[in-house]
Structure 1
């Protein structure tokens, strides 16, 4: 794919003038090229430096000119290699007297062959040779390579005869593709043309379909390796789905089948229209520009568009902040729109290619002249599993068909023919207010959204064709919109469509093991339509500024009647969108064992129907955030909250008083102890009522056994770690003489060995012992399970409590838990709630997630004489949200305004980046 003509090429490098200076330099050395080598190399190095400086200046001046930048980089290397070839050929490896010069051709390969060099790309070259073992040929190649290496170029090279080219291409797909991209650079042009002729005649002819199949298989494997979606928030510009490699694959296929030498010839080959080719070049140019900026900023061949680099490239490419949307988010939205366009072009390209292959098959073979008849489905043609519009003006005659075709595809489980996708994309602009307000169009859309086969895939097609955003403009506003944080893995539209897919899977029962309640309760809903619409709309107002839940509810109140929902369904959807974070925030950031937590939650939910709807929406919302976001611990917390709330709503009141709940829990613990049940007779009065209410029976049983053994052995400190697969974490129980500051030291010791605390409950026995239960995960969100891992945790806690180890300096040396967190600005926040619990003051601290955070917050509370009773730790990517249930030293809530303000100051200081900087060693 040749670059466009360069303006003022000689400002990059003037080969004629440089050749003259090289000649003068050799002349000054009395014509001895060998002795002039270092001086010549210095001239070449200076020319390379000056050329790169000029190209860097041009990139800053025209930051989106990807083709011009890559073309300039390729031109610079082209000119230098031609000079290197001539210098080496004439002076470093001249033809021996009386000998014939064997033909040798210098060929650009790979990205260099396509003229797509970024500033730090490898230089891939091939030497086509007449005779590989000819001494002069070997000497010349070595001379050229050593000069390139001495210039600091990263070189990939190969040496092949024409026979090698033919034989190796037949057996190695990588070599086949690299030869397909070769571009004549310098040397014997006749040898190059002979190699090209034989390559196509002896390797390519007759293998076109196999090559296409191989390239598509490679592409699918690469996509799977890179996350199998073009909407990952840290994309790989080169290898990721919708990236440069996908465009290159189209070029390879076109070149292999139609012998095109330039991407523009894909139009003549009938694979693109002129408009599609312009779109191809626009997407390619933008991606190339982004890649060039990545190389410039990092000073290396970097293709990953990481969070920290996104902000800098957005600035370089002149994206500005807009209301509700930061410059980096606008830049990434444009990036994803280009990646989406690459996907659409790929579908169009492959559809045209399949049609061309089909026509060739029809003209030959045993079935020549036989035409299978397509069947008709609601006016559409269906053939070979694909649904197609019967004519080019099909959508123009009735634009509602732009919605209908996707609904038919979902209900009939058919793919949409790529040519029809091209028509839909072309005609999507026909969707106007009249179509949007049409009851028929909205009924079709609602049927698709709530489809029972595969609405996720078909909605994604609808989105790719531009129809989704046209029909639901509010969805169009979040199309390709990135969420600039480390929590969300996908763009808003992709997250939403994935959530609908999970909803469909739960309804089918295919996720019943992970979501048993949701899989059961989804069939008891009064309105499944409300659930699917709420899932569609829950993030619809992101990027507008303000609370997206509140703004989204307003959108729901407008859209639901248009979709055909009843007044009651509209009210339900609006409530769910407004409260779609309520259940997760309650389960993860509040103490479910505190009766007030459930009281407040039930007071907001009010009905069993709302509870069922919200629980299922919460589950699919979390799952659709990204891989690993949902885990068994979150499932258990949400399940406990659901069960407690369900019972309360079903009976209309609390099932029993405090004494009854304690008695029931003790009986459950007695059953859990089994043959050790007699321990309850000794220890049932060891703990106060809050302990029995807070701890699950299995953990309480383990605590009692551990306490008994510790007392029998006379241990002042007992630490026990055990992987708890059901909770997806490791249970760490510490029993020790209670004293102020014990929580912060345990927390620091756990963090020191790489553990993340996700939940903590702090208890004191009537005998003065602390019994603290922590749920801990490794940095990847999994339980620690290996014996040596558990031993390290136990040893670290013992050292932290008894060995006088200085935790703070050690903690400060630990790296950030996740790469890239420093790219985000997270201002510390401290909020108090004295209404969330009858007995405790609830404090919620938001801050950047980093080493020793929990330890520092616990220290601040300790220094302010606040007693921690339970802690609930939640991570949202780079953000941590730590909730503490505390009392003063007398066991009462903290209500004095002066004390609360002092706590706010202390916690804000502890959570600040400045505090982290002070702690880090010089």
Structure 2
């Protein structure tokens, strides 16, 4: 394997000069900077270490002669295998615990957007585990399907290391594109589906093998207890199984009850039960009976146990009987870099997260179903929310939901992005914004409540850092304002410039330069509110964005005000919410000094930002073409429009975009910046400073924005 460390054992039979021989071997390798894990042992010493160290024991099982006495090496490997066969049964618990710790650290190969090909669950280390269990004669040797999975994982890992020129095992999206091309997979999405399938094959085989190799299910020859855990379902020892009187061929709901029992108890479904259900369980006919819907709700609301239960059902084709539409998203890799899972796993994970929110909504059953279906329309060249809503309608009718409940589920899928997108990309203090949300949901307070919970579950299931306190606050405020509108009460007026901001503007006018004040945002120490003020004639957004970028602050929102208090000629105030990309926020005094210098003009800020961007070169993902979208009638006032820029994230992107807006003679009223992994959606409410908002002005501004984002 390219760029791998060497794991070498120098075996000897008591040779008196073994130390000098070892030095002669190791030093040239060290001088060549080869990674080396080495030891010098007699066969007896190696076996003694293997008896106490699991890693050594497993490593000796596939020991290979590099050079030297073939008979001595063969004797050691044979003795190590015999020792393993004698002791493996007692060491299985240690093997299982070691594997679980590794899986917890490295995640899964299957359904992961960036799989660890070696250490992840379903990866190469697990294939080694299967080999060890087979050597101990505790499970069958890997068959053709596992052999194909091994070849794929090895090929991909080898090509990955050749591509990056170092010992990497985690396949990122950018490298996957190159690897896919080299291995003739077409693109990284095709490769991802093959890898996910291989990972699922290996992980399932490991689960079955470790269960078979584990300690006996009964004690002192007794049969394991059979504890009822549902109609026709029992807990047989440590596995979920069919009751003796269960008749799968005549009980269409039995499949759901088995899955629900497994998810609820966290115990695996026995292999025999899965095989029996696959052979004889009938399909649930539409519309499902009430008992079937209750079992589905119990299954989806079980929490963490749902993941393994669905995986077991899906591996045996049973999940597709319940939800034939699942095939379109199975192992479908995400196109958005912020997603940690494939689409099917994301949907299951969203149900897991939604299960923790069922006590916050009036209809937990609809929340769980909406979580399961909200991205079911992905993977096709169309709006996944609209297609998903159509699919969700068919599913809802098939499982027997009422017309009203079907309408709610369809609305959840169609509008599952409505609240987070609006809260992070629009000014939620504007009445028009709230009115659009209320109109989209047809004034239904139940749908609003369910969408609020689904927004949280969806974000939590997407990946770490997607559902932040700041995002939760914005969505919560939007929901509260929409609920106020739905009850017929007047919306609160947008907050005017407060006394502190007014005084800062006055100070900027008196001093003739920029001023800065920094406070925490809603008590969150990592999110700060930075208020910048300048004299009326000075530029505000561009220098502020530049200084914040220079200090590695990620801007979330920006609101700009013109202040005309009595006693002075007026000034302009910008209120920014931002958080550090890493570390803690910078010293306010430093920000104040840098901003004053930037407002005063000069090339220093641009030069420093260019230097900082060069320092980050090589760390960015593969570029994508920027896109500009226009949204009319989404902000208050005539001659105002919302423009969105979707582009790759860059350190000084907002600074460059602000310059493009200024160059285009655009007045910015507010800005929202949403970061999605390595991409951003920058939204601006703008109006022309002079002239009209005509097609020529839009075309010129769009060209400038695209140039700034290149």
Deviation at 1:304, TM superposition (A): 1.9
Judge conservation of contact 1:752–1:810 (CA < 8 Å) in 2: yes
Deviation at 1:165, TM superposition (A): 1.5
Give the whole-Å Cα distance in 1 for the aligned partners of 2:224 and 2:647.
Answer: 65
Does residue 1:869 correspond to 2:705, yes or no? no
Deviation at 1:750, TM superposition (A): 0.7
Judge conservation of contact 2:303–2:352 (CA < 8 Å) in 1: no
Structure 1 range deviating more: 857-866 or 208-217? 208-217
From the two aligned structures, give the one with the greater helix fraction.
1
Alignment size in residue pairs: 699
> Which residue does the alignment assign to 1:358?
216
- How big is each residue's C-alpha offset from its partner over 1:585-611, in whole Å with a ceiling of 9 and x where there is no partner? 111111011121112221222121121
1:859 aligns to what SS in structure 2?
helix
Judge conservation of contact 1:755–1:779 (CA < 8 Å) in 2: yes
1:401 to 231, 254, 267: 254
Give the whole-Å Cα distance in 2 for the aligned partners of 1:747 and 1:452.
Answer: 46
> Which residue does the alignment assign to 1:13?
none
Are residues 535 and 301 of structure 1, via their aligned partners in 2, closer, same or farther at CA, if it must alter by over 3 Å?
same
Give the whole-Å Cα distance in 2 for the aligned partners of 1:789 and 1:293.
Answer: 46
1:869 aligns to what SS in structure 2?
strand
Deviation at 1:447, TM superposition (A): 3.3
Does residue 1:631 correspond to 2:484, yes or no? no
Give the whole-Å Cα distance in 1 for the aligned partners of 2:513 and 2:703.
Answer: 36
Give the whole-Å Cα distance in 1 for the aligned partners of 2:310 and 2:224.
Answer: 30
Does residue 1:546 correspond to 2:382, yes or no? yes
Deviation at 1:898, TM superposition (A): 1.9
> Which residue does the alignment assign to 1:222?
102
> Which residue does the alignment assign to 1:232?
112
Deviation at 1:880, TM superposition (A): 1.2
> Which residue does the alignment assign to 1:619?
456
> Which residue does the alignment assign to 2:407?
571
Judge conservation of contact 1:722–1:790 (CA < 8 Å) in 2: no
- How big is each residue's C-alpha offset from its partner over 1:428-448, in whole Å with a ceiling of 9 and x where there is no partner? 47677x446473595365334
- How big is each residue's C-alpha offset from its partner over 1:757-814, in whole Å with a ceiling of 9 and x where there is no partner? 110111121042222111111225x8x34xx554443443233223634333332333
Judge conservation of contact 1:812–1:851 (CA < 8 Å) in 2: no
Deviation at 1:180, TM superposition (A): 3.5
> Which residue does the alignment assign to 1:581?
417
> Which residue does the alignment assign to 1:88?
none
Are residues 421 and 722 of structure 1, via their aligned partners in 2, closer, same or farther at CA, if it must alter by over 3 Å?
farther
Judge conservation of contact 1:403–1:444 (CA < 8 Å) in 2: no
Deviation at 1:584, TM superposition (A): 1.4
- How big is each residue's C-alpha offset from its partner over 1:718-777, in whole Å with a ceiling of 9 and x where there is no partner? 212233364551111112213353211110111012111110111121042222111111
Give the whole-Å Cα distance in 2 for the aligned partners of 1:624 and 1:177.
Answer: 36
Judge conservation of contact 1:721–1:794 (CA < 8 Å) in 2: no
Give the TM-score of the pair, scaled to structure 2.
0.89
2:447 to 595, 610, 616: 610
Deviation at 1:250, TM superposition (A): 2.4
1:757 aligns to what SS in structure 2?
strand
2:605 to 807, 811, 826: 807
1:601 to 431, 437, 441: 437
Give the whole-Å Cα distance in 1 for the aligned partners of 2:406 and 2:232.
Answer: 33
After TM superposition, the structure 1 = structure 2 runs for residues 794-873 of structure 1, keeping only pairs within 5 Å, are 794-802=592-600, 804-815=602-613, 821-839=620-638, 840-873=640-673
1:456 aligns to what SS in structure 2?
helix
> Which residue does the alignment assign to 2:174?
308
- How big is each residue's C-alpha offset from its partner over 1:197-237, in whole Å with a ceiling of 9 and x where there is no partner? 66567x65764355322222222222222246743311111
> Which residue does the alignment assign to 1:73?
none
Structure 1 range deviating more: 179-188 or 727-736? 179-188
Give the whole-Å Cα distance in 1 for the aligned partners of 2:274 and 2:28.
Answer: 50
> Which residue does the alignment assign to 1:83?
none
1:271 to 135, 139, 154: 139
Q: Which runs of 5+ in 2 are unaligned?
A: none
Are residues 209 and 796 of structure 1, via their aligned partners in 2, closer, same or farther at CA, if it must alter by over 3 Å?
farther
1:648 to 485, 492, 499: 485
Does residue 1:447 correspond to 2:316, yes or no? no
Does residue 1:720 correspond to 2:517, yes or no? yes
Deviation at 1:342, TM superposition (A): 1.6
Give the whole-Å Cα distance in 2 for the aligned partners of 1:452 and 1:161.
Answer: 53
Give the TM-score of the pair, scaled to structure 1.
0.70
Are residues 566 and 335 of structure 1, via their aligned partners in 2, closer, same or farther at CA, if it must alter by over 3 Å?
same
1:344 to 204, 207, 216: 204
Give the whole-Å Cα distance in 2 for the aligned partners of 1:711 and 1:540.
Answer: 53
Give the whole-Å Cα distance in 1 for the aligned partners of 2:253 and 2:49.
Answer: 54
Give the whole-Å Cα distance in 1 for the aligned partners of 2:245 and 2:422.
Answer: 54
Does residue 1:177 correspond to 2:58, yes or no? yes
**Which of the two has higher C-alpha Rg?**
1
Give the whole-Å Cα distance in 1 for the aligned partners of 2:587 and 2:704.
Answer: 34
Give the whole-Å Cα distance in 1 for the aligned partners of 2:618 and 2:31.
Answer: 35
Give the whole-Å Cα distance in 2 for the aligned partners of 1:205 and 1:450.
Answer: 42
Give the whole-Å Cα distance in 1 for the aligned partners of 2:422 and 2:266.
Answer: 42
After TM superposition, the structure 1 = structure 2 runs for residues 382-531 of structure 1, keeping only pairs within 5 Å, are 382-389=235-242, 401-410=254-263, 413=265, 415-420=267-272, 423=275, 428=278, 434-435=283-284, 437=286, 439-440=288-289, 442-443=292-293, 446-451=296-301, 456-457=306-307, 458-508=309-359, 519=360, 522=361, 525=362, 527-531=363-367
Give the whole-Å Cα distance in 2 for the aligned partners of 1:370 and 1:533.
Answer: 42
Deviation at 1:295, TM superposition (A): 2.2
Does residue 1:764 correspond to 2:566, yes or no? no
- How big is each residue's C-alpha offset from its partner over 1:398-417, in whole Å with a ceiling of 9 and x where there is no partner? 67533331133345x35134
Structure 1 range deviating more: 757-766 or 899-908? 899-908
> Which residue does the alignment assign to 2:126?
246
Are residues 381 and 455 of structure 1, via their aligned partners in 2, closer, same or farther at CA, if it must alter by over 3 Å?
closer
2:196 aligns to what SS in structure 1?
helix
- How big is each residue's C-alpha offset from its partner over 1:581-636, in whole Å with a ceiling of 9 and x where there is no partner? 11111111110111211122212221211211211111211111101111011011
Judge conservation of contact 2:426–2:672 (CA < 8 Å) in 1: yes
Give the whole-Å Cα distance in 2 for the aligned partners of 1:150 and 1:453.
Answer: 53
Judge conservation of contact 2:549–2:652 (CA < 8 Å) in 1: yes
2:591 to 793, 804, 809: 793
Deviation at 1:450, TM superposition (A): 4.6
After TM superposition, the structure 1 = structure 2 runs for residues 12-31 of structure 1, keeping only pairs within 5 Å, are none
After TM superposition, the structure 1 = structure 2 runs for residues 46-445 of structure 1, keeping only pairs within 5 Å, are 118-131=1-14, 134-135=16-17, 137-145=18-26, 154-196=35-77, 199=80, 204=84, 207-227=87-107, 230-255=110-135, 258=136, 269=137, 271-272=139-140, 277-320=143-186, 327-354=187-214, 357-358=215-216, 368-371=220-223, 373-377=225-229, 378-389=231-242, 401-410=254-263, 413=265, 415-420=267-272, 423=275, 428=278, 434-435=283-284, 437=286, 439-440=288-289, 442-443=292-293
Deviation at 1:841, TM superposition (A): 2.0
After TM superposition, the structure 1 = structure 2 runs for residues 772-791 of structure 1, keeping only pairs within 5 Å, are 772-779=574-581, 784-785=584-585, 789-791=587-589
Are residues 580 and 429 of structure 1, via their aligned partners in 2, closer, same or farther at CA, if it must alter by over 3 Å?
farther
Are residues 789 and 288 of structure 1, via their aligned partners in 2, closer, same or farther at CA, if it must alter by over 3 Å?
farther
Judge conservation of contact 1:460–1:497 (CA < 8 Å) in 2: no
Are residues 339 and 790 of structure 1, via their aligned partners in 2, closer, same or farther at CA, if it must alter by over 3 Å?
farther
Give the alignment's Cα RMSD to 1 decimal.
3.2
Deviation at 1:162, TM superposition (A): 2.5
Are residues 703 and 253 of structure 1, via their aligned partners in 2, closer, same or farther at CA, if it must alter by over 3 Å?
farther
Are residues 373 and 584 of structure 1, via their aligned partners in 2, closer, same or farther at CA, if it must alter by over 3 Å?
closer
Give the whole-Å Cα distance in 1 for the aligned partners of 2:383 and 2:207.
Answer: 37
